[in-house]
Amino acid sequence: MRSVLALCLILLASPALAARPARAPAAPPPPACDRECLRGKVGEVIYALADHNLGKLAVEPTLRVTEDGVEKPLDKVGLARSVTKLRGYRQDIIDERAGQAVMGAMVEESGLPVLLVVRVKVEPDQKISEIELVATRSRTDGLLFNADGYSGAPAEAMQYAPRPEQLSPRDKAIEIGMFYPRGLSNAKTFNAIGTPFAKEAYRLENGNLMAGAGCTFNPGCADIGNQPLTIFERLGRVTVRQILVDERMGIVIMRLSWNVSGPGSDKLTAWEMFKVWGGQIHMVQAWIRLFPAALDLGGWPQSPGIVQP
């Protein structure tokens, strides 16, 4: 008994032992391919296209590639022979949880501008397992096409880095973004379903200002919340194929599609971005490409768990 008491007194008298703080729990390991890794991987694709050398990419044996909605082997990608220059415009959306990145970039084919969208999926070994390429070269391809709208830096509103307290949790950001396809599918206006647009909100489509202050495209377009959506009663409902979230920058991006002119027509497909912070949508931007009805989903399956609008 005396020896036990003596040991307790020794431990209590030891400053080093008495003052030792509790060990903090270990931080979770970072993703195998983190934010900058994903940015680098999607960038490698456009540089490889410009170098006409996709063979230098680190890819999985199971790699799947589509170009304008058509699946093909990597060495059969036409853009790897046609791209002659990178113009400078580039907008990245990085989803670390999904291990995916989407980029919109302006490139050239023999001096002519091309709006190129690239999506990649990267596995834990930092090899690419999916490449999706969509090129819009003219109004024939995209219904709208304003190369000058992508002649410089990306839109300032998309580049704003919200403070942590301004960012919504992932599920909430998706919920806010889903107001948009819900409005297109079900409403007369976005305001009719309570879409939380910020006062300064505006929308760009293939480089054209289509809603918000200064819009002259059609009557009422200067007010994004009250812009009439009645045309969608004829075009039909919107399909959401995929949703990715750049949680650091507050950007939700959805791959959408709907009829161009009614049932049975070609499909207007879009990678549509929503800048979400402070519980509001501050900007909408779309990269648009027309596809035949058979390529509605661009050659990729619909992601599970998406509740369609």
From 267, 278, 38, 13, select the one nearest 164 (Cα to Cα): 278
Q: What are phi and psi for residue 201, nearest 5 degrees? A: -60, 145
Q: Are 299 and 119 within 8 A, CB to CB? A: no
Query: How far is it, in rounded angstroms, from Cα 179 to Cα 198?
Result: 13
CA of residue 138 relative to chain centroid, distance: 22
Q: How many Cβ atoms from other residues are within 10 Å of residue 296's Cβ?
A: 18
From 114, 25, 5, select the one nearest 67 (Cα to Cα): 114
Query: How far is it, in rounded angstroms, from Cα 272 to Cα 89?
Result: 17
What was the pLDDT predicted at 27? 58
What was the pLDDT predicted at 120? 98
Global pTM reads 0.89
Spans of the chain, pLDDT less than 70: 1-31
Query: How far is it, in rounded angstroms, from Cα 157 to Cα 204?
Result: 11
What was the pLDDT predicted at 32? 85
What was the pLDDT predicted at 74? 98
What was the pLDDT predicted at 78? 97
Q: Which two tokens stand for residue 208?
A: 């054209």
What was the pLDDT predicted at 15? 47
Structural domains of the chain, with CATH: 35-137 (3.10.450.50), 156-294 (3.10.450.50)
Q: What per-residue string of b and e applies to 172-203 under the rule 16 or more CB within 10 Å gives b? A: ebbebbbbbbbbbbebebbbeeebebbeebbb
What was the pLDDT predicted at 108? 96
What was the pLDDT predicted at 254? 98
Using one digit for the tens of pLDDT, what is the confidence trace for 179-231?
999 999 999 999 999 999 999 999 999 999 999 999 999 888 999 999 999 88
Residues in a beta bridge with 270: 256, 288
What was the pLDDT predicted at 151? 83
Query: How far is it, in rounded angstroms, from Cα 238 to Cα 308?
Result: 8
